[in-house]
Structure 1
Amino acid sequence: MSELGVRGQTTKREIFGWAMFDVANSAYTTVVITIVFSAFFVQHLVPQGSEWGNSYWGLAMILSNLTAMLLAPFLGTLCDLTGRKKGFLLGNMMLCAAATAMLFFVGPGAIGWAIALIVVSNTAWMLSEVFCASFLTDLATPDNMGLLSGIGWGVGYLGGLLSLILVLFGVITADADSDLALYIAQNQQAMLVVAGFFVVVSIPTMLWLRDRPVAGTPDTSAKAVWLHTLQRLSHCWQLSQALPVLLRFFGVFTLYSAGMAIVIKFFGIYVDAELTLSAGEKTGVFLALQLSAFVGAVSFGLLETRIGSKATVFLTLVWWSLGVLSIYYLGDLARWLNMEENQLFMVSAVVAGAGLGSTQSASRTLVGLLTPTGYSAMMFGFWGLFARVAAILGSFCFALVADLVSVQQALLVILGFFVAGAVLILLLPINQGREQARQFKEVE
């Protein structure tokens, strides 16, 4: 394990510190974006009778993704030139935690404040994810990058599971139908718990993850670094010509990530809108989904070391497509299998969830494999940019179809993104792309 590092030595303690950030940041995306606050926003913050609840939430997602999309490549390039990834990582973590804690003060009707705080917190969370991913090329060799990425993403779902248990069993104990005021107050208190979880669990990252020195600009003044950053970004067209396989991958990644973004950001809303699950059943689904995603990320990570990242992405997209189809035809399948719809949904969701972390983990590995030395934060910044484009595309398409037609029919939007991604990923010449990365020389 001590020889995992690409530059110098990487210790088990540092890898643990890096992986713990995946554990820490999962609390935010699980509780705030996917399961608890998203549904609370639509049902209780948006005025009763409004038909635009999904669209308001979609607006928050679009604005935050646009902001992260614009900032990620620039800040990533700045990190590569200064070698200060850790500062950017922890700074965005603190900003996300602070904005999340401020949601404690947001009550029914305060849509503007809720959207603003979600935009700030989600933007900071997405940027921190980019900086965390960019450490992958520092910590792992090409041969074990997929396994390390899978383990990191997998333990992240354990963080989501733990934070969800804390919130659903330790904080939100009231029922909206019997005591609405208490239910609202407890949802607000849950935001403080998430913010605290994010900061406390990130302590190993603060202590043990370290920056690598870079051979960069001899003049390290702020002005020189910023000018060099802008100069490197101005060569994006030349970069795309020198690394065409990486560019093509970003395009394919955008398509299937749009489907994943819908699942992450609208899952809680779909469950509340289309199903008649009891509070206990919903809790069971959400908790089992986190455990399933953990098992899937680690298992597919092990498989990835044998079959490669490209094949892993393809298999997980096929897995996802079958899962979406089973939920779309839930009623017919339930009658055919002689099962209750709610029971079949829980089984389908948990099985499909095994593909969530593994798709994202293998995608992160592919970026690392196709990235030239010294460009990791910049290229992961572009990975973040295309992930944000995907989230905007997915949020817009799903919210529009859900509001104008139905949430049920909007499932076909997810399926379309997954099928297109699965077909196109097979056409990518990954080995050729790795050779392009090895032969790459900085554009002057």
Structure 2
Amino acid sequence: MIRTRKASRREIFGWCMFDFANQAYTLLIITVVFGDLYTRVIVGDAPDYRLGNLLWSLALCISYAMVVVSAPLLGAVMDHAQAKKRMLLASYLVTVASTAMLYLVSPGYVWLGFALIVISNTAYSAGESFIASFLPFLGDSHEMGKISGLGWALGYAGGLVSAGFVLLFLGEVSAENFERMRWVGPFAAAFFLLAAIPTFLWVREPRVGHHRRLDAAVLHGAYARLLATLRSVSQFPDLGRLFMSILFAMAGVYVIVAFSFIYGAQVIGWSEATRNLMFIVVQITALLGALLFGALQGRLGGRLTYSLTLVLWIAAILAIYFVGELTAGLNRQLGIELKVEEVFLFAGLLSGLSLGSSQSVGRALVGMFAPEQRAAELFGFWGLFSKLAAIFGIFGVGLLQWLFGLQGAVLFCILLFALALLPLAAIDEARGIAAAQRADAPAP
């Protein structure tokens, strides 16, 4: 039996708009602007910024650890108490409020910035799992790749709009320009606040569980559900293998998201124009990658499509690490004078294609393998493995760059993506879908 319940186009669009809205936080706060601002201006331990990089890694890791310990239980609460929209709303409001407060973080206010990143990124990361738990209710199993890809693509469009505005009108990240750049937090908060409104207007609460008040009794019932799921884990072997692959793959992805623009500033030494162009390249290629591989998933299957995205990531990391040698080789062979920062844009192109596709396809596979009655709970485990990966990857790279510098630490990502390929060999996609359908079938 294949899942046949479909959402309306308006509901699917409303769901995708949350991806559109929350990319303002990912791009402006974690990847492009505030991470660079925090390490180079707020902490400002020039010339190598090792303390700033380490504190940034630690703040992200603490926030991800909080998601790791809470996500499955919160997912069980959502399924048990029919509370997906209520909890999504709570995470969204906390993210918006704490992001707006980043305006208060001035140079030297290291621990205020640290605390606000921990709070905002914890709420944002929990919201990622919450919104993903709606995916199994939006379409058939074979359509989830396309729907997930559409969400990711719209997300990168949101990132392009929001971060493009900031980069063009707020200027460069520098101590001299701090009074303008400090507005990046309020802008990201306002964008998220307004753009996510269609999600709460048009996405319906799935009819899973019974509407209950969120109190101690609900928490107890959710805990019982969580224990039951853990006892039945052997019924979903393919989902378990997928989670192991996601653990390693997302470790690499979070390293790139957290450090790519810091790498460009500190290792490549790029100009402001190249930084802005890199942002545009990554956003457009990530958008195209999400759409392209979402469509391919319907043709090639999720397992093979996901494997291809991981191979693409390995090629991107090699291009990042060897960009100097690649530049010298091109100049020698073609008799031209390219700059390293210009060739680095090619690495950004590969990274963008990998970024949009791997996350979209991985999320869709979880939706295909997750029983509808436990969708939020199992997407909570998706959040657990994703954020555990972030802790492992980001803190590992943070320590490696402390010892060897940021360039050498990037090679760690190749190992992570290679390890992510190994569990995929034993996954049977049809078996994983069938296991989810058996779990949803009424008892005889």
TM-score normalised by L of structure 2: 0.93
**Pairing 1:43-442 to 2, within 5 Å after superposition:** 43-49=40-46, 51-170=50-169, 172-173=170-171, 176=174, 180-181=175-176, 183-216=177-210, 222-338=215-331, 339-440=338-439
Per-residue CA shift, 1:266-316, capped at 9, x if unaligned? 112111110121101111111211111001100111111100111111101
Would you say how many aligned residue pairs link Structure 1 and Structure 2?
Answer: 434
Tell me how far 1:263 sits from its aligned partner: 0.6
| Residues 5, 139 of structure 1: 8 Å contact kept | no
| Residues 302, 429 of structure 2: 8 Å contact kept | no
Letter in 2 for 1:191: G
Relative distance call for 1:52 and 1:215 in structure 2 (3 A) is closer
State the partner residue of 1:11. 8
Letter in 1 for 2:135: L
| Residues 64, 120 of structure 1: 8 Å contact kept | yes
Q: Which runs of 5+ in 2 are unaligned?
A: 332-337
Tell me how far 1:166 sits from its aligned partner: 1.4
| Residues 6, 139 of structure 1: 8 Å contact kept | no
| Residues 23, 157 of structure 1: 8 Å contact kept | yes
Q: Hey, what's the Cα distance between the residues in 1 that align with 2:172 and 2:22?
A: 26
| Residues 174, 186 of structure 1: 8 Å contact kept | no
Tell me how far 1:83 sits from its aligned partner: 1.7
Tell me how far 1:433 sits from its aligned partner: 2.0
Which deviates the most, 301-310 or 329-338?
329-338
Query: Match for 2:32 among 24, 27, 35?
Result: 35
SS of residue matched to 2:76: helix
Q: Hey, what's the Cα distance between the residues in 1 that align with 2:129 and 2:173?
A: 37
Relative distance call for 1:48 and 1:13 in structure 2 (3 A) is same
Which deviates the most, 235-244 or 107-116?
235-244
Tell me how far 1:355 sits from its aligned partner: 1.3
Relative distance call for 1:135 and 1:426 in structure 2 (3 A) is same
Letter in 2 for 1:165: G
* CA RMSD between the two structures: 2.1
Q: Which runs of 5+ in 1 are unaligned?
A: none
SS of residue matched to 1:109: coil
Relative distance call for 1:45 and 1:336 in structure 2 (3 A) is same
Per-residue CA shift, 1:43-65, capped at 9, x if unaligned? 01114346311110011011000
Q: Hey, what's the Cα distance between the residues in 1 that align with 2:172 and 2:419?
A: 43
Q: Hey, what's the Cα distance between the residues in 1 that align with 2:299 and 2:52?
A: 45
Per-residue CA shift, 1:341-385, capped at 9, x if unaligned? 221111221233111111001110111111112000000000000
| Residues 289, 349 of structure 1: 8 Å contact kept | yes
| Residues 21, 201 of structure 1: 8 Å contact kept | yes
Per-residue CA shift, 1:9-34, capped at 9, x if unaligned? 52111111111100000000011001
Q: Hey, what's the Cα distance between the residues in 2 that align with 1:439 and 1:212?
A: 19
Q: Hey, what's the Cα distance between the residues in 1 that align with 2:145 and 2:423?
A: 21
Q: Hey, what's the Cα distance between the residues in 2 that align with 1:124 and 1:253?
A: 21
| Residues 6, 141 of structure 1: 8 Å contact kept | yes
| Residues 245, 422 of structure 2: 8 Å contact kept | no
Q: Hey, what's the Cα distance between the residues in 1 that align with 2:248 and 2:173?
A: 38
Letter in 1 for 2:240: L
| Residues 370, 436 of structure 2: 8 Å contact kept | yes
Which deviates the most, 344-353 or 305-314?
344-353
Letter in 1 for 2:362: S
SS of residue matched to 1:143: helix
Percent of paired sites with the same residue: 35
TM-score normalised by L of structure 1: 0.93
Relative distance call for 1:220 and 1:100 in structure 2 (3 A) is closer
Relative distance call for 1:215 and 1:41 in structure 2 (3 A) is closer
